[in-house]
Amino acid sequence: MSGLSAAAREAIEAIEAGPQGPKIGAFFDLDGTLVAGYTAATFYGDRLKGRDVSPAEFLRTVVTAVDGELGGDPTRIAHVAFSAMRGESEEAFADLGERLFRSKIAGTIRRESRALVHAHQRAGHTVAVASAATKYQIAPVARDLGVEHLVCTQLVVEDGQFTGATDGPMLWGRHKASGVRAFAREHGVDLGESYAYGNGYEDVAFLSSVGHPTALNPHRDLRAAAGRLGWPVLDLSDPVGGSLVAAGRTVAALAGMNAGVAAGIAYGLTRGDRREGRNTAIKLATSLPMALAGVKVEVLHRERLWTHRPAIFVANHQSALDIPVLGNLLERDFTIVAKKEARWDPRAVIGSVVIDPAYIDRSDSESARATLDGVVDRIRGGTSLMIFPEGTRSPTPALGPFRKGAFHLAAQAGVPVVPVVLRNTGELMRRSSLVLNPGVVDVCVLEPETDWSVDDMSERIAALRAKFEDTLARWPA
Amino acid sequence: MTSTEDFERWGGAAAWSSGAELTAMQTLLWRAERHPVQSSTSTVVIDLDRAPDWKRFVAATEWGTGLVRRLRQRVVDPVVPTAAPTWADDPTFDLAYHLRRERADSREEMLAAAAQVALRPFDRSRPLWEGVLFELPDSAAYVLKIHHALADPLGTVQLLSMLQSGRRAHTPRKPLGDDAAAPVGTDGVELAVAGLRTDVSTLPDAARAAARTLGHAAVRPQAVVSSALRYGASVRRLLTQAAPPSPELGPRTGKMWTFLTLEAPLEPLRTVARQGGGTLDDAAVALVLGGLRRYHARRDSPVRELPVGVRVSLDRADDLGNRFAGALISGPLSIEDPVDRVAAVRGEVLSLHTERALEVLDATAPVLNRMPSFVGASALRTAVAPDAFVLTLPGPPRKRFMAGAEVQGMYVLGPLPGAALTACLVTVGDTACIGVNVDASAVADLDALRACLAEGLEEMVAAGLGG
């Protein structure tokens, strides 16, 4: 499993070697453990931006927060926040949670935490998020990780509005520990054999409720305590944030792409061969920017990219980086299907001049079908096609459902499907981000699949999607 | 077999506690003592199956004080606190002053008399122990009162376990301690001058160290300030974040000690501890809380948690290391299930390990010791007093004998420094002996408390047997 640190791999191997089944629990803290940073800060930042906060409330919040840091009651800050929410609509707040998840929080989920969660899920363990946060912060993250259970602070809702009070204590410190123990009793979980992951100094009681506690990227006081108590400490890498340097490199990369395109077209003109010019442009336009941005690509089974051309290449989609990466891999004689709106995306406009994508107007099925008929002809003519069957970029590495379009095209054109699994492109360039961070993209080309027909298409698509999931969960060595 | 073991153990006793000076912490407790309200005296009650032969008992004690030199030494204080007090042989040592025999009609009467023995202050110019053998109608009890400067409760139990014999019969030719006595001529003035001399000679070093620290602070003010703030925050959490004291356990005068004893098989308690993921210490705290929970319920009190003083090892968590700190936890009264209560206590105790200020009293003791003794006394007082102290001590692994009488139980009754009760669980063979010292002025219904503590213990044992 490349890409995971040795320590994370060891932890996962220990989980795989340990007891399996739902009697074993795995409890994950949210803030600082599953995600880097504090989701509450993201929510509060949004309130500040929306000017929902009066100067008095702001001052009170700051004073309470500072007091909590200086040995006062650290949960008071949350109660100040909860009482400020009195009268707000629960539905609107849940929507806000979803919006903030897509735009901000999804990008802060630690990749190796996700791998730990999946390792526990594969072992059939009962996995839960245990946090002092509210379900509006946790639920989108838990859903994305496929975690069903939440042990969290409950807010009282009356007539669809928050009352500003909590139902029961805030699940912080000892209350989180007792919440986890109650959950274990209810679900028949054997705590002595179970796992817990936390990062805060207040998580000691929570961690000590299980037989296998891990201090994950711990706060300095928890690190000291873990040393004394002999608990394992696991330091996972944080998702890369956009730095100024990275932003500068992105600009250079865009410039490189343009230069590549221009050079390629010029080359084609001088040689009098448009096709060759286009291929050269693709090559330069994809390899130059990636080199400038410091992005490397590591490919498993690169030969499978060439054995079955023309073909339909299907890949999972998390980032705008996916297109240049795939372009770089496929090198020549391919095009993409894109939605009409993407034509004027500044990130794609130059590439589209050379790749000459088949645009579909989703609002007009008649014209969409006509475009696709044209595409079938082009495939038969020797141009491969690159399609993202999820249709849209997912905010996280979790795989979305596959649409059938790509496979219908394969059946109609009588060409094979070559599955390409991309990992961590989303980490190097977050969804809806314009900044590209340096790093290594892992790519795995799966066995090409031939002879598509409408009869068994659904089953084959489901099987293929499962292969994607499996590859993402256990990256082949 | 047994006698070889005995000889090894006795050899250990001879080497026991041979440092000449009191440690910084012992010094603080010694100087700050205000008996009995701020006391450092523990009392051990040892149940014996029969009254030992008095002559043999006196001879054995005589031998013990010869083996363990400290029992014949007194504390010499410097006239001004420039140095730590030291131990010096008491030239006027007279066993008859320290050991006597009394008669009691029942065990209750013996316990009441033992509490009176414990309440009387020591003559601080003599060796800091006193033993009374109570002869009961068909058994006996030995009550030993010992000062913290001589031995803390753990040391006392260790010492007693070491001195007892593995067999009922007399062992002739027992080992003797070294005759090389500590300097007898030590007096307060000499000590003070010697201390001052050391202070003066180490002054340049101290000044250099201080300058270095200041230099660091000047170069990295931010780091120093944030580190100081974190330390301060930790002190504040330790002092203020435990639960407020229960109104059912006050007001207390600290002057009406009442001794209760409880016993239970040890194995079920260990089982409950294991089930809750904790240690025997955690189970001991949980069982006292179980008793207090019943008592509060009986008194219709809504208190959900109360402050409990526990001992935290400063070394590895589960080791019986040598460095301990006392600290407060919020003991839950609302948890009915004994196993869950152990788990909750476990969480509270382990959480203390995140506090960098846990050793604050250890760290400040040397400074406090240089001040007039009332400063140290008030420093000890500012530490918030818990409602209960709970302590677990490892005793002898199997039944032992004292001058031909079999030891049936060994109970430690700790002092009450501001608390309403102090409970000590001593493991004696396969039995848990729990001694509880209650401030009778703090408790409205002492009989109810006694019954509730017994029920709390039964409940734990039942949970251990049931699982």
> Which residue from B237, B240, B347 is facing A174, i.e. has the nearest CB?
B347
Q: Do residues B157 and B249 share a domain?
A: no
The predicted model gives A366-387 an average pLDDT of 78
Residues of B in contact with A181 (CB under 8 A): 340, 343-344
Q: Is A181 on the interface with B (CB under 8 A)?
A: yes
Do B253 and B184 share a structural domain? Answer: no
Per the DSSP assignment, residues forming a β-bridge with B409 are: B47
Indicate if B401 and B280 belong to the same structural domain: yes
Domain assignment present for B231: no
For residue A421, the model assigns a pLDDT of 92
Residue A50 identity (one-letter amino acid): G
B224 falls within a domain: no
Asked if the structure places residue B82 within a domain, the reply is yes
Q: Does any CB of chain A come closer than 8 Å to the CB of residue B350?
A: yes
Residue A34 reports pLDDT greater than 80: yes
From chain B, pick out residues whose CB is under 8 angstroms from the CB of A228: 315-317, 353
For residue B275, is it within any domain?
yes
Domain co-membership, B137 together with B61: yes
Q: How confident is the model at residue A364 (pLDDT cuts 50, 70, 90)?
A: low
CATH code for position B59: 3.30.559.10
Angstrom distance (rounded) from CA A271 to CA B242 = 83
* Structural contact between residues B77 and B28, judged by C-beta atoms closer than 8 angstroms: no
Q: Where are the strands (E) in A333-377, listed by range?
A: 334-339, 358-360
Query: In which band, very low, low, confident or very high, does the pLDDT at A91 lie, cut at 50, 70 and 90?
Result: very high
Residue B310, strand partner residues:
B327
User: What CATH number is associated with residue B336?
Assistant: 3.30.559.30
Place of tokens 């059912």: B248
For A173-198, how does the pLDDT look when each residue is reduced to its tens digit (9 = 90+)?
889 999 999 999 999 999 999 999 99
Tell me the C-alpha distance between A32 and A35, whole Å. 5
Among the residue ranges A204-208, A263-267, B140-144, the one predicted with the least confidence is: A263-267
- Scanning every residue of chain B, which has its alpha carbon at the shortest distance from the alpha carbon of A201? B354
Q: Is there a domain that residue B196 lies in?
A: no
CA distance B437 to chain A (A): 29
Are B152 and B257 found together in one domain? no
Helix (H), strand (E), coil (C) string for B379-405 = HHHHCCCCCEEEEEEECCCCCCEECCE
Do the chains contact at A204 and B240, CB–CB below 8 Å?
no
CA distances from B467 to B270, B274, B376, B455, B464 (A): 11, 11, 48, 18, 5
Residues of chain A contacting residue B335, judged by C-beta atoms under 8 Å apart: 178
Tell me which of A35-49, A267-281, A340-354 is least confident: A340-354
- The residues in A 333-372 lying below 8 A from B, measured between CB atoms, are none
Phi, psi for residue B71 in degrees, rounded to 5: -70, -10
Q: What is the pLDDT of residue A54?
A: 73
CA distance B385 to chain A (A): 19
Residue B446 is assigned to a structural domain of this protein: yes
In chain A, which residues have their Cβ closer than 8 Å to the Cβ of B356? Answer: 221, 224
> In this complex, is the C-beta atom of B348 within 8 Å of any C-beta atom belonging to chain A?
yes
The pLDDT, as a whole number, for residue B321 is 44
Residue with tokens 């790509």: A406
B279 lies in the same domain as B145: no
Give the total number of structural domains in chain B.
Answer: 2
Q: How far is CA A294 from CA A11, A243, A247, in A?
A: 30, 13, 12
Q: Answer whether residue B354 is part of any domain.
A: yes
Q: Give the domain range for residue B418.
A: 242-464
- A230-233 CB contacts, 8 Å cutoff, 24+ apart: A230/B316, A230/B317, A231/A207, A232/A11
Q: Let me know whether B125 and B56 are in one domain.
A: yes
Which chain B residues are Cβ-neighbours of A174 within 8 angstroms? 330, 332, 344, 347-348, 351
Strands B73-76 and B41-48: unpaired
Among the ranges given (A277-291, A374-388, A397-411), the one the predictor scored with the smallest mean pLDDT: A277-291
Nearest Cα to B422, choosing from B259, B238, B304, B190?
A: B259
Structure tokens at B450: 């006694």
In terms of residues, how long is chain B? 467
Asked, for residue B212, whether it belongs to a domain, the answer is no
- DSSP-assigned beta bridge partners for residue B307: B330
Inter-chain CB proximity B347 and A225 less than 8 Å? no
CA-based nearest residue to A314, from A427, A411, A391, A234: A391
Q: Using CA atoms, how far apart are residues A294 and A261, in angstroms rounded to an integer?
A: 19
Interchain CB distance below 8 Å, B343 and A202: no
- A157 burial class (0-12, 13-18, 19+ CB within 10 angstroms)? middle
> Taking 90 as the threshold, does the pLDDT of residue A144 lie above it?
no
> Residue B335: closest CA among chain A residues belongs to which residue?
A178
**Tens digit of pLDDT at every position of chain B (467 positions):** 456 778 877 777 776 666 678 877 778 778 878 887 777 788 999 999 999 999 999 999 998 888 888 899 999 888 777 788 888 889 999 999 999 999 999 999 999 999 999 999 999 999 999 999 999 999 999 999 998 888 878 788 888 877 788 888 888 877 776 555 555 556 777 777 776 666 666 666 777 777 777 777 677 767 777 777 777 777 777 766 678 889 999 888 888 999 999 999 999 999 999 999 999 999 999 999 999 999 999 999 999 999 998 887 766 544 444 566 778 899 999 999 999 999 999 999 998 888 877 776 566 666 666 666 666 556 555 566 789 999 998 888 888 899 999 999 999 999 887 889 999 999 999 999 999 999 999 999 999 999 999 999 999 999 999 85
Residues B153 and B280 in one domain: no
Same domain, B186 and B294: no
Query: Min CA distance, A213 vs chain B (Å)?
Result: 12
Q: Using the beta-carbon criterion (under 8 Å), do A174 and B344 form an inter-chain contact?
A: yes
pLDDT band (50, 70, 90) for residue A2: very low
Contact with chain A for residue B316, Cβ under 8 A? yes
Judged by CB atoms closer than 8 Å, whether chains meet at A228 and B317 is answered as yes
Looking at chain A, which residue has its C-alpha nearest residue B358?
Answer: A225
Please state, in angstroms and rounded to a whole number, the distance separating the CA atoms of residues A294 and A383.
30
Same-domain check for residues B68 and B185: yes
Cα A98 to Cα A141, A153, B112, distances in angstroms: 9, 18, 68
Same domain assignment for residues B131 and B249: no
| B356 in reach of chain A (CB within 8 A) | yes
d(Cα B237, Cα B384) in Å, to the nearest integer? 12
CB B401 within 8 A of CB B163: no
SS3 A123: coil
* Pair (B307, B429) in one structural domain: yes
User: Is A186 part of the contact surface with chain B (CB cutoff 8 Å)?
Assistant: no
CA distance A420 to A408: 18
The Cα of B328 is separated from the nearest Cα of chain A by a number of Å equal to: 15
Residue A33, pLDDT above cutoff 60:
yes
